[in-house]
Structure 1
Amino acid sequence: MSTREFVVLGTASQAPTRQRNHNGYLLRWDGEGLLFDPGEGTQRQMLHAGVAAHDITRICVTHFHGDHCLGLPGVLQRLSLDRVPHPVTAYFPASGQHWFDRLHHATAFHEAAVPIEHPLAGEHVHIPAGPFTLEARRLSHPVESYGYRVVEPDGRRILPERLAAHGVAGPDVGRLQREGRIGGVTLEQVSVPRPGQKFAFVMDTRRCAAAVELARDVDLLVCESTFADADAELAYEVGHLTAREAAAIAAEAGARQLVLTHFSQRYPDVGPLLDQAREVFPDTVAAHDLDRITIPRRRPAPE
């Protein structure tokens, strides 16, 4: 069974609260673990959430404001401390290379697991990443910031009754999937289309076209919702979204489910933000620290 879930390590924005740790999120995608924006305290939150350093295969930093990256030194050192044997790739804005270097070598430690650096440059980046494509788009924020999108390629779902009707069994099933045809039987005759799943992570940004494109037709959109309606002018001024704006992005993009996070410390209760978002996009939830959110089941195949 594949495991695809979103693990919330922290939901605060600039300042943590008694209930909310700084940012930190892990996307489990089968054998991959994508760690997004490790803020302060991420290592400890990983322990609480049952996330090990060995679970991390990629680190995705949206930008170099402290609440999104000050946990990076501890995470990188933990990879070495735990002797993580597999490669871990770190994605981050190329303009922040000097910040990444400083965080990487913030203190003395014995580096046994060296991250593979993949700086991002340009408005739109496509990165083949094994079982999926990782996309990054530049957002609208006072410092250069990227949002991320995970796209699984479309495939086909084998139907056992059609295999039996065509007399295909045993090792021939695998051959048919790999080669597309065995004798007079084609893969299309024994299967139906299986749409690939999609996920988007949109952090610090004003509303912009790139945010909508990242969220286009995703199964799960995780989006910052730093402010409530009453603070919409402030949100725009400092390069952030309101919960209602996050919902509008989800609605325009045709997302299936929206997860709100990155809440300002000025809101002890995020219930009103959730209510404002649901007026625009009903299938919305507000993230809480240590939540585990299952990626929605695949969309049905087009008929």
Structure 2
Amino acid sequence: MSNRELFVLGTASAVPTRRRNHNGYLLRWDGQGLLFDPGEGTQRQMAHAGLAANDLNWLCVTHFHGDHCLGVPGIVQRVSRDGVAHPVHAVYPASGEAYWRRLRHAAVFHDTADITEHPVEGGGAELSGEGFTLTALRLDHGIEAYGYRLAEPDGRTMLPEKLREHGVRGPAIGRLSGPLLEECSVPRPGQKMAFVMDTRLCDNVFALAEGVDLLVIESTFLDSEERQAAEHGHLTARQAGRVARECGVRRLVLTHVSERYTEADEPLFLEQAGHPGAVLARDLDRIPLPPRRRTGD
């Protein structure tokens, strides 16, 4: 099982369908779980996916339209009910503080959840996780919305043949430095993931997606509704594909599909995206990050 994997819990936009639940995406990143935009039904979808409240370390809300946040009350209450002992970091637009409070305390329950709140305002924020940074950047939607970018630091990959050649083994490997370290290893770019929901095309969409291994991005509409997409602050599949190509994205995950489209329409999303690494997400898909790459790959 991959230690870095996206669990797709829901892929609908404003209205769920028989085949698509409201939004919900859990990224398993080593020992951390980051849940993005839990809509209605997220608890049950997590059960279907074999996930539990203890798998959650971060709860990231892009904006406070219902399909992106109405699952928050159930998630928060489940964290308490299941006795999750570790803190859960909650990231959300500061302008929606009143909505966050209503969702956080939407019903009566025995509240034992340890939730550390990180309201984001202005141009965005950068937060530190365990082995990664989480960056939030402002998007262009009808209300204040943020996209997220997760990145681990660059590192180095050891070359076993070079280590043997220099007789370096065991704990001595961790103490290598200077020219010998450079000779016995090669640069390894840190893995990166971006999450972009409701927005028109804007500079920060490209900034979030630049060079990521995995881009989860809304593609609410096809070309036939491009005008409506712009009016309502959304992207088309073709625009999502353009972002992925221009930013060197390795794996593109299209999601947040309007209820107007049928199963017969789905091949058009991939056709219009025009990206070789694209998938159209379906509920309960599990999508691993691509394998690590070295500098120059």
TM-score w.r.t. length of structure 1? 0.94
Structural mapping, 1:132-281, within 5 Å? 132-176=132-176, 180=177, 186-269=180-263, 270-278=266-274, 281=275
Return the alpha-carbon distance in structure 2 between the equivalents of residues 244 and 251 of structure 1: 11
Instruction: Please show how residues 45-124 of structure 1 align to structure 2 within 5 Å.
Output: 45-124=45-124
- Which amino acid letter does the alignment assign opposite residue 231 of structure 2? E
The offset of 1:170, in angstroms, is: 2.0
8 Å CA contact 1:197–1:298 kept in 2: the answer is: yes
Q: Is the 8 A contact 2:126 2:133 kept in 1?
A: yes
Identity %: 60
Say yes or no: does 1:293 pair with 2:297: no
Contact 1:72 1:104 in 2 (8 A): yes
> What is the alpha-carbon distance in structure 1 between the residues aligned to residue 248 and residue 112 of structure 2?
43
Contact 2:10–2:25, Cα closer than 8 Å, also in 1: yes
- 1:131 alignment partner in structure 2: 131
The 10-residue stretch of structure 1 (71-80 or 126-135) with the greater mean CA deviation from structure 2: 126-135
Which moved further from structure 2: 161-170 or 70-79? Answer: 161-170
Give the conservation status (yes or no) of the 8 Å contact 1:95–1:144: yes
Stretches of 4+ aligned residues off by more than 4 angstroms: none
Report the secondary structure of 2:73's partner residue: helix
Q: Any conservation in 2 of the 1:159–1:192 contact (CA below 8 Å)?
A: yes
Give the secondary structure class of the aligned counterpart of 1:186. Answer: helix
| 1:193–1:302 CA contact under 8 A, matched in 2 | no
Q: Distance in 1 between matches of 2:165 and 2:2?
A: 28
Contact 2:76 2:104 (8 Å CA) reproduced? yes
1:136–1:148: 8 Å Cα contact kept in structure 2?
yes
Q: Secondary structure at the match of 2:19?
A: coil
Contact 1:20 1:289 in 2 (8 A): yes
**Shift in Å at residue 99 of structure 1?**
0.5
Q: Distance in 1 between matches of 2:125 and 2:211?
A: 18
1:142: Cα distance to partner? 0.4
In structure 1, the residue matched to 2:11 is 11
Does the 8 A contact of 1:204 with 1:240 survive in 2? yes
| Secondary structure, aligned partner of 2:208 | helix
> How far has the Cα of 1:167 moved from its partner?
1.6
Letter in structure 1 aligned against 2:279: V
Paired letter, 1:222: V
Amino acid aligned to 2:270: L
Distance in 1 of aligned mates of 2:255 and 2:33: 20
- The TM-score, its normalising length taken from structure 2, stands at 0.96
Offset at residue 2 of structure 1 (A)? 6.1
Q: Deviations over 1:68-120 (max 9, x none)?
A: 00000000110111111111100000101110010000001111122100001
1-structure distance, mates of 2:296, 2:277 = 22
The answer (yes or no) to whether the contact 1:224–1:262 under 8 Å persists in 2 is yes
Q: Is the 8 A contact 1:9 1:21 kept in 2?
A: yes
Aligned length: 295
Any gaps of 5 or more consecutive residues in structure 1? none
State the AA in 2 paired with 1:240.
H
Structure 1 residue 127 displacement after superposition: 1.5
Residue identity opposite 1:192 in structure 2: V
Distance 1:152 1:47, change over 3 A: same
The answer to whether 1:302 aligns with 2:272 is no
Query: How big is the shift at 1:286?
Result: 0.1
- The range that moved more, 244-253 or 4-13, is 244-253
- Structure 2: 5+ residue stretches without partners: none
